[in-house]
Amino acid sequence: MAEVEVKNLSKAFGDSVVLDNISLKIKEGENVVVFGRSGTGKSVLIKCIVRLLEPDSGEVFIEGENILALSENKLNEVRKQIGFLFQGSALYDSMSVRENLAFPLIRNFNFTTKEVEAKVKSSLEKVSLEDSIDKMPAELSGGMKKRIGLARTIITEPKLILYDEPTTGLDPITTKEISQLIVELQKDLKTTSIVVTHDLICAKIIASHAVVLKDGKIKYEGNLENLVSTSDPFLRDFFTSDILEVKNGSNK
């Protein structure tokens, strides 16, 4: 498990300030869901946390290490403990499912071929897609790609997993399945998770803590129940449609 701390983080693209002096602390084993309208910097925040984007100012600590100050080699050592599920899954087009999953293991760890094969199969079992081992990414549906992406993310047994909109574009049933899978994996691997999403169904299943971003700042930080029953007009507007959808769904 890993503790993450973001201190006074700012990031702008040209004149547009996306993150404005954000501070956030995520405890070990917590599942934090980050909400916000499109373009409020949710993805930018998690990309800054793994240093895929360089922030303009601020600090990011993962298990006490300021990753913005690390050399390339040390940064890679920290990254070996981090999993990142991308919005579009980001499976390597030129590799089969087996090769996609084996890739980080072969490159970063000293496993034997048998051990790699066993880990690939075990990861695919966790996402119930053992039969897809020899398929190419182009042969997979959107939901299958997300699952394979998830299997690739967890294969190295990371301490921290970042999810960038894991259920976007999926139907409600698949959304529920993926969300439950994330919770199960979190329990199994005892990871700390940060989930960026718009999806309240997904958030209700996953979140132990919620953060809402607005205009580059944190508008709300606390538990999800309080957020759902908030009287703040912006937060109420933001969640109204989804709350109704969830309620209707649960009535059925």
What residue ranges bind another protein (CB under 8 A)? 47, 50, 52, 72, 76-77, 79-80, 82, 84, 86-88, 90-93, 103-104, 107-108, 156
Q: Which is nearer to another protein, 15 or 72 (CB)?
A: 72
Beta carbon of residue 144, minimum distance to another protein (angstroms, whole number): 16
By C-beta, is 26 or 91 nearer to another protein?
91
For the bound state, the minimum distance from the C-beta of residue 173 to another protein, rounded and expressed in Å, comes to 25
Distances (CA, A) of 187 to 39, 136, 151, 177, 195: 31, 30, 15, 15, 15
DSSP string covering the chain: ---EEEEEEEEEETTEEEEEEEEEEE-TT-EEEEEE-TTSSHHHHHHHHTTSS--SEEEEEETTEEGGG--HHHHHHHHTTEEEE-TT----TTS-HHHHHHHHHHHHS---HHHHHHHHHHHHHHTT-GGGTT--GGGS-HHHHHHHHHHHHHTT--SEEEEESTTTT--HHHHHHHHHHHHHHHHHHT-EEEEE-S-HHHHHHH-SEEEEEETTEEEEEE-HHHHHT---HHHHHHHHHHHHHHHHHHH-
Please identify, using beta-carbon distances, which residue of 23 and 76 lies nearer to another protein: 76
**Minimum CB–partner distance for residue 85 and another protein (Å):** 9
Nearer CB in complex with another protein: 83/235: 83
Nearer to another protein, 9 or 235 (CB): 9
* Minimum separation from the CB atom of position 242 to another protein (A): 26
Residue 49 vs 224, nearer CB to another protein:
49
Quote the least distance from Cβ 211 to another protein, whole Å.
Answer: 21
Shortest distance in whole angstroms from residue 199 CB to another protein: 19
